[in-house]
Amino acid sequence: MRGDRRQIQTALLGSADSEEPLILPLEAIELDAFRQQHDHDTFWRGLLLGGCVVRLTTKLYTDRVCHFAHLPGLDGCRITAAAAPGVRPVPTTCM
């Protein structure tokens, strides 16, 4: 596997103001199980993580790490907000 080039590895479960963070599995086989476990859930780049407050989807890859991404059709954004107290901000660019 090439170097870790993921853009969004963490998300919030259920809504943009959720306090339930998730970390996406890195490998495709693990992402398949994650998708089954969260079949009816939604993922968000939300306030707790200092995000852009939009809904995300999962991206499965076999040649690089899997990651969260904006739903198709949304413009990219830059995360500039600070994360909630006690949460280390993840330096990333949403695209």
Within-domain flag for 1:
no
Within-domain flag for 86:
yes
For 3-41, letters b (16+ CB in 10 Å) and e give eeebbbbbbbeeebebeeebebbbeeeebeebeeeeeee
In the chain, the number of structural domains is: 1
Within-domain flag for 76:
yes
Within-domain flag for 4:
no
Within-domain flag for 37:
yes
Within-domain flag for 63:
yes
Residue 2's pLDDT band, with cuts at 50, 70 and 90, is low
The residue segments making up the domain with residue 62 are 10-94
pLDDT by residue (tens digit) across 35-92? 999 999 999 988 887 778 889 999 999 998 898 988 877 655 554 444 444 444 444 4
